[in-house]
A and B are shown apart, each in its own frame.
Chain A
Amino acid sequence: MSLVAEIDEAFAGSPPDWLPAFAHDPVGSLTKLFTEEWFHGHLNAEDPDELLLDWADGFSEIGPAFGEALDGALADWIVMHWDSRSLWHAGSPGVTWHRALRVVALIDHKPAATAVLRERVGEADDVLGPMTRHAARDPLGWYWTVLAVTQGDDESLREKWWSFCNLAPGVAPFHGRIGLLGLRRIAGPDRGRFRESVAAGVLRLACALDQRVQDRALGQREAMQVARTAAVETRAAYPFPEAWAAVWDARADKLEERPREWLAAVFGAPRGDRPRRYAGLSLPKPDPDWFLRAGQIANLLRRHDAEAKKAATALLNEQRYYAERAGDASMLTKTLCQLSSALGPDDQRLAHEWADEAWAWERSNPFTWSTLVIALIAIGDFSTALARAAEGVERFPDDPVIATNLATALRRCGRLDDAGAVLRDAGDRFPSNANANSRELAKLVRAQSEHGVGTDDARDPVELMPGADPPAHESDAARILTEARLLLRLAALRPADERASRLDRAGALADAAVKAHPQDVEALMTEIEVLLDQSKPEDAAKLIASLPGYIAQRPPFQALRASGRLDEVRAAAPVKFEQSILIGIVDPWKQAGSEHAALSAGWPLTQLRATTAMYDGTDLGDAQDEAIRHLVEAISSDADRRAAGSGLPQRNRALRSWWLGEVQRLIPPLKATAGDVATYASLAPLLEEQSERLDAIDRQLIDAARFTA
């Protein structure tokens, strides 16, 4: 039966107007439905996705035509709008995408729509992530829900699901339950039975939520709701009370008090003294000897012992088994990195394999990034090594090893001048890493003497990265963008007269990346940063103003907006003090800081720096005093927290702490001691002198913050 005939039959010739329109123009009608343009007559007060889901359910009992047409239309709709800005100004694209992807997730027949979504797995976070605000505006959540329920025999997303359960940096708390859904639906020999890994996921999520509460990144009430919901849903999905009781009795006492209370409300009081059993349940435990064994095996590998690789494989398999079922990959990644580094020149492929596996598990760990870069260099894939090192430096501006890795990768790519600039910068910033820097410097000097002079990187920068073809998992656009961001960073390390050409190239590459993916926030952010570094703050402001709210209001963009306004005032200095000018500069920073913990300490420095470009008025002095007071307080409370040693800080707090440390390094008088309060007069010369470096650390903070938003 044709679609038109199916519609006629279902509604006896009087269908709602949207359905014949859909038969005539499927994609256009979907756009009008999802954007809520279409007027549905007496049904109009209902949400359009609910109407469409009702129709899809109803038609499924009549025939296949509507379901197939809807699947095809959804696939075409996704393709059409993914790389276009057509929805930007239709209002709230996040709601539109939320509705569309929710429909894909909830309809039964969706092979075509699923296929196009899977093809975009590497871009989803950048395209849909910025649109996601909460559970009611959650296109990214529905995207991953579609992938979770359509995994089939594919196990490649296991690490992703665990990263959701563990609320890795950048994962929203309300996405924790999607991680559990992914673990429920993933392939494996235990599919079809009670899964201990899913039960472990519930516990991991509760612990991760508690960690967010401890870090003051999440309210207790919200955390409790998310934890309880996850537990209730998962328990209902596996209706085996005895199994849950056994898990709970065995694991409850390993939890902190708060998550134990949250989950006890669902699972009841644990019986730790007389734990209940469940046949077939074998909750994996870490082996206390793993650390020792890993060290011994690493030594054997270094000595090329014949049995070492076999022992390594056995240990890694044990740890993989544990990581996949318990969701704790910390020991696995540590061993993978340790053993990868211990392998000799003949085994560099294996070293890369292990490093890559560690990196896939823990991208929030700088150790996995540096191990991967070293392994990539060892197998001669310099271009990928450079791409990873460049991103690693952006993610971890506080990590000295990654900084040296970048210099090494640049050197191996033949970009010797840039390698030298990176090394000099790393030497200034990380004196504690002097030995590694010296070793790399020696290699660089040798390379320079062999090649005469530094490579002229005025040639095409993408070609400059040997290794010819980009790897299959990384699109050309992504690689171009990586190069653009690298050039941006390298330009900042060069003398003023050498910057322009790098920035021009970075701008051209960013333009190309935006053309390829017009909604990609990374590419847009790069364009704005290039304009700022080219001293074109007005153009940057115009570009930000042209962006839809869901991008322009994001903390990194707000902070960049503030940077641009600061640049404008400094360029016009001296400016007569006006409160409104100061507010215009500082408010976007405050807004960014209120939404992003890593940026929360940034605004006073911007305020202070803005006042250096102003004159006149008692209010100016007040503004300066206020900024100094807030900065000193932030530095002091950060020092207290570090002295208290409250364990590994959450990533955002670590970034904030690093930034405050850099500010103190550049402006020492801010580190006030008792009775010794910094004054504006004592700070002003340093603020001027360190202006470029302060710009650089602000930018590094903003760049790093985008990975943990």
Chain B
Amino acid sequence: MTSWNAHHALYLKESVRAGSRTDVFDASAASTPETFRLRDPLDEFATTDGVLELVRIEDLGAIARRSCADVVTLRAWAEAVALDRRTNAKATAVESAKLNDRLQIWQGAGGLDNRPVFVGFWESVAEVLETPSVTWANTVRDRLGLSLYDPGSRLRKRIDVVAFRYPARLVQRTSRRGGCLLARPTVLDGGLSTAFCTAPAGCGRGSCLDLSGGGSDTPWQEALHPPLNYTADMVWAVGSITSAVPSTLADARAIHLAAVCDANPDFWALAVETDGDL
């Protein structure tokens, strides 16, 4: 596994994460993620309507670390801004400006690379985030398969997260009138993850693995796109992940595969290849 992980990481460093988050997207640049340079087979989502909305979950602690901010203050600003947005109020111009400053530092001087950004669709996530409950972050973490956000394993009491919600029209396009650079994720687009199952090319969807093993009939869709500039007006909700990642990840993986294979029998061959031993 170490050797496999090392080779995988090498590919990511040289072919997927070679540039900076602030690079202007250029499909022909050598530092552009290969995901978007060789994207012909990955265009399942290229025609996505620009008014559809996407959701991105980010670790507020990591944002604070990279923007030299205090996470408690950052959270307070983000909460105020998010509440404003959900209630259509306009009472937090100062907090919004301060939050925006920090978001710009996080994405610029903070040293983020230009790796593809994994996102969910509002279409799926809305059931939890339309009116976020106190525990929304735990649910969304599980449903989006974000196993890296495990507070206990990281010695954090909780992981504060922020949900950005924004329209797909903001995602870069191959050209002015070209397709939207929204792609089905493959195993080559991010770090090796036990909570990731590649969907076959041409299937028209990317399916998140539900960490809770709930075996939901319809796994949430996931996609990825080149990094874009996140701003305060995209902040929709702030929450805390407090629960541990369920220890039954292998079971969850098997349940997930069974569910997606039931929905699409073409998946069976791939599932047997990747997880036949489970």
Do A and B pair up? The answer is: yes
**Which residues of chain A are near B142, meaning CB under 8 Å?**
none
Closest residue of chain A to B245 (Cβ to Cβ) is A42
24 contacting pairs across A/B (C-beta < 8 A): A36-B12, A36-B13, A37-B6, A38-B2, A38-B5, A39-B4, A39-B5, A41-B194, A42-B193, A43-B148, A45-B147, A45-B192, A50-B62, A54-B61, A58-B155, A59-B155, A102-B111, A135-B109, A135-B111, A135-B112, A136-B113, A221-B24, A229-B105, A233-B105
B109 touches A91 (CB 8 A): no
Which residues in chain A, 62-106, are within 8 Å of chain B measured between CB atoms? 90-92, 95, 98, 102, 106
B2 touches A92 (CB 8 A): no
Stretch in contact with the other chain, from B15-23, B75-83, B121-129: B15-23
Closest residue of chain B to A222 (Cβ to Cβ) is B22
On whether A136 and B148 interact (CB within 8 A), knowing A42-B194, A55-B154, A225-B104, the answer reads no
Closest residue of chain A to B105 (Cβ to Cβ) is A229
Bound state CA distance, A522 and B17, in angstroms? 28
Which listed residue (A32, A58, A95) contacts B154, Cβ 8 A?
Answer: A58
**Does B132 sit within 8 A of A, measured CB to CB?**
no
**Does A134 sit within 8 A of B, measured CB to CB?**
yes
B148 touches A45 (CB 8 A): yes
Closest residue of chain B to A549 (Cβ to Cβ) is B14
Bound state CA distance, A61 and B95, in angstroms? 31
B104 touches A229 (CB 8 A): yes
Closest residue of chain A to B211 (Cβ to Cβ) is A42
A10 touches B155 (CB 8 A): yes
Q: How far in angstroms is the closest Cβ of chain B from A86? A: 14
Bound state CA distance, A216 and B196, in angstroms? 45
**Does B191 sit within 8 A of A, measured CB to CB?**
yes
On whether A51 and B154 interact (CB within 8 A), knowing A42-B194, A45-B193, A174-B109, the answer reads yes
**Which residues of chain B are near A609, meaning CB under 8 Å?**
none
B155 touches A57 (CB 8 A): yes
**Does A138 sit within 8 A of B, measured CB to CB?**
yes
The 3 closest A-B pairs by CB, nearest first: A58-B155, A36-B9, A134-B20
Closest residue of chain A to B62 (Cβ to Cβ) is A50
Closest residue of chain A to B110 (Cβ to Cβ) is A135
**Does B10 sit within 8 A of A, measured CB to CB?**
yes
Q: How far in angstroms is the closest Cβ of chain B from A334? A: 34
Which residues in chain B, 186-241, are within 8 Å of chain A measured between CB atoms? 190-196
**Does A272 sit within 8 A of B, measured CB to CB?**
no
B105 touches A232 (CB 8 A): yes
Q: How far in angstroms is the closest Cβ of chain A from B264? A: 25
**Does A611 sit within 8 A of B, measured CB to CB?**
no
A226 touches B193 (CB 8 A): no
**Does B1 sit within 8 A of A, measured CB to CB?**
yes
**Does A606 sit within 8 A of B, measured CB to CB?**
no
**Does A137 sit within 8 A of B, measured CB to CB?**
yes
B10 touches A42 (CB 8 A): no
Given A37-B6, A44-B5, A137-B18, 10 more contacts at CB 8 Å? Answer: A45-B195, A53-B65, A95-B13, A134-B23, A136-B17, A136-B112, A137-B20, A225-B22, A232-B104, A236-B101
B154 touches A37 (CB 8 A): no
A58 touches B10 (CB 8 A): no
B153 touches A42 (CB 8 A): yes
Which listed residue (B2, B12, B19, B20) contacts A37, Cβ 8 A?
Answer: B2
Q: How far in angstroms is the closest Cβ of chain B from A116? A: 23
Which residues in chain A, 1-45, are within 8 Å of chain B measured between CB atoms? 10-11, 16, 32, 35-39, 41-45
**Does B68 sit within 8 A of A, measured CB to CB?**
yes
Interface centre among A58, A138, A226, A232 (most CB of B within 10 A): A232
Number of B interface residues at 8 Å Cβ cutoff, please give it: 50
Which listed residue (A10, A16, A44, A225) contacts B193, Cβ 8 A?
Answer: A44
Bound state CA distance, A136 and B21, in angstroms? 8
**Does B114 sit within 8 A of A, measured CB to CB?**
yes
Closest residue of chain A to B23 (Cβ to Cβ) is A134
B10 touches A229 (CB 8 A): no
**Does B249 sit within 8 A of A, measured CB to CB?**
yes
B195 touches A58 (CB 8 A): no
**Does B34 sit within 8 A of A, measured CB to CB?**
no
B104 touches A46 (CB 8 A): no
Bound state CA distance, A249 and B23, in angstroms? 34
**Does B160 sit within 8 A of A, measured CB to CB?**
no
Bound state CA distance, A92 and B110, in angstroms? 20
User: What mask results when residues 99 to 111 of chain B are scored 1 for a CB within 8 Å of chain A, else 0?
Assistant: 0010011001111
**Does A228 sit within 8 A of B, measured CB to CB?**
yes
**Which residues of chain A are near B148, meaning CB under 8 Å?**
42-46
Bound state CA distance, A177 and B104, in angstroms? 14
**Which residues of chain B are near A236, meaning CB under 8 Å?**
101
B108 touches A135 (CB 8 A): yes
**Which residues of chain A are near B20, meaning CB under 8 Å?**
133-137
Q: How far in angstroms is the closest Cβ of chain B from A107? A: 11
A228 touches B6 (CB 8 A): no
**Does B169 sit within 8 A of A, measured CB to CB?**
no
B65 touches A136 (CB 8 A): no
Bound state CA distance, A55 and B153, in angstroms? 9
Closest residue of chain B to A229 (Cβ to Cβ) is B109
Bound state CA distance, A51 and B148, in angstroms? 9
Which listed residue (A32, A92, A138, A225) contacts B13, Cβ 8 A?
Answer: A92
Which residues in chain A, 159-193, are within 8 Å of chain B measured between CB atoms? 174, 177
**Does B44 sit within 8 A of A, measured CB to CB?**
no
Bound state CA distance, A133 and B13, in angstroms? 13
Bound state CA distance, A563 and B48, in angstroms? 51
**Which residues of chain B are near A51, meaning CB under 8 Å?**
154
**Which residues of chain A are near B192, meaning CB under 8 Å?**
39, 44-45
A16 touches B108 (CB 8 A): no
A177 touches B10 (CB 8 A): no
Which residues in chain A, 126-142, are within 8 Å of chain B measured between CB atoms? 133-138
Which residues in chain A, 507-564, are within 8 Å of chain B measured between CB atoms? none
On whether A134 and B109 interact (CB within 8 A), knowing A37-B9, A91-B14, the answer reads no
**Which residues of chain B are near A39, meaning CB under 8 Å?**
1-2, 4-5, 192
A46 touches B191 (CB 8 A): yes
Closest residue of chain B to A136 (Cβ to Cβ) is B113
A136 touches B147 (CB 8 A): no
On whether A36 and B154 interact (CB within 8 A), knowing A106-B65, A136-B111, the answer reads no
Bound state CA distance, A225 and B22, in angstroms? 9
User: What mask results when residues 195 to 234 of chain A are scored 1 for a CB within 8 Å of chain B, else 0?
Assistant: 0000000000000000000000000011001101100110
Q: How far in angstroms is the closest Cβ of chain A from B117? A: 13
B10 touches A92 (CB 8 A): yes
Bound state CA distance, A39 and B192, in angstroms? 8
A229 touches B108 (CB 8 A): yes
B19 touches A54 (CB 8 A): no
Bound state CA distance, A50 and B112, in angstroms? 12
A91 touches B194 (CB 8 A): no
**Which residues of chain A are near B9, meaning CB under 8 Å?**
35-37, 91
Q: How far in angstroms is the closest Cβ of chain A from B3? A: 8
Which residues in chain B, 50-99, are within 8 Å of chain A measured between CB atoms? 61-62, 65, 68
Closest residue of chain B to A102 (Cβ to Cβ) is B111
Q: How far in angstroms is the closest Cβ of chain A from B85? A: 22
**Which residues of chain B are near A42, meaning CB under 8 Å?**
147-148, 150, 153, 193-195, 245, 249
**Which residues of chain B are near A102, meaning CB under 8 Å?**
111
B155 touches A36 (CB 8 A): no
**Which residues of chain B are near A90, meaning CB under 8 Å?**
6, 10
A43 touches B147 (CB 8 A): yes
Q: How far in angstroms is the closest Cβ of chain B from A30? A: 15
**Which residues of chain B are near A55, meaning CB under 8 Å?**
154-155
Closest residue of chain B to A225 (Cβ to Cβ) is B108
Bound state CA distance, A38 and B6, in angstroms? 7
Bound state CA distance, A44 and B148, in angstroms? 7
Closest residue of chain B to A237 (Cβ to Cβ) is B68
Q: How far in angstroms is the closest Cβ of chain B from A476? A: 35
B154 touches A43 (CB 8 A): yes
**Which residues of chain A are near B61, meaning CB under 8 Å?**
54
Bound state CA distance, A421 and B163, in angstroms? 70
Q: How far in angstroms is the closest Cβ of chain B from A596? A: 17
Bound state CA distance, A177 and B155, in angstroms? 31
Q: How far in angstroms is the closest Cβ of chain B from A624? A: 30
**Which residues of chain A are near B249, meaning CB under 8 Å?**
42
